[in-house]
Amino acid sequence: MKFAVIVFPGSNCDHDMYHAVKEILGEEVDLVWYQNSNLENYDGILLPGGFSYGDYLRSGAVAATSDVMNQVKVHATKGKPVLGVCNGFQILTEAGLLPGALMRNKKLSFMCHQEELLVENNETMFTSGYGKGEIVRFPIAHGEGNYYCDPETLSSLKANNQILFTYQNNPNGSVENIAGIINKEGNVLGMMPHPERAVEALLGSNDGLKLFQSIVKNWRESYYVTNA
């Protein structure tokens, strides 16, 4: 499987994502500059954390209008897995690939520490390696991670089992403790905690590795079925 890590001006977790995929997962991966909109040769797309365009206007708002995001939308429609972490999650909501919005943390301060998450849905291409109800530890590092959506959208997320991760100790004020959601089709995941920073015990947790392994496993199974 070959991944593209999209790099915007201001991305600062791109090499973390690259390391997790290349060195720990052992899969092919390229750092793809945002001006390169050709994603045809990639099987999965990763939007890393950081401060794209300095978080001007709103976090992720400018990056969401870039040409490469038009291609991300095209390939998401084709069913390719798309993972947006932290600023990547913000970009996905600004681009309309996921519902809701990310606001300032409830205490209006930047947070950087480990958080415990509950796996709410383990029947997706991103979470099949986990047990339902499993507690995992991922680091967070954000100032605008307070997930918000209106009551109608929240009801839809619940009805369609689109909430994948929730916080055990909600650090930022997110509605219903939401830490990560997928689209209705199940191939686009946005989350504020950083699984790519939780792939080695040396970092304090390797719970994030299962997420990347789940992507690869499910992609391969789908690929072989499609090309059999």
Cβ-contact 127, 83 below 8 angstroms? no
Q: Nearest-CA neighbor of 206 among 214, 195, 196, 198?
A: 198
Q: Nearest-CA neighbor of 60 among 72, 48, 71, 70?
A: 48
Whether 194 sits among the annotated catalytic residues: the reply is: yes
Catalytic: which of 94, 115, 144, 196?
196
Question: In whole angstroms, what is the distance from residue 70 CA to residue 150 CA?
Answer: 26
Catalytic: which of 27, 94, 115, 194?
194
Question: In whole angstroms, what is the distance from residue 217 CA to residue 175 CA?
Answer: 31
Q: Which residue has the tokens 């109800």?
A: 133
**What's phi and psi for 112, nearest 5 deg?**
-150, 95
Catalytic: which of 86, 94, 115, 120?
86
Whether 196 sits among the annotated catalytic residues: the reply is: yes
Alpha carbon 116 to chain centroid, angstroms: 17
Cβ-contact 193, 165 below 8 angstroms? yes
Whether 15 sits among the annotated catalytic residues: the reply is: no
List active site positions.
86, 194, 196
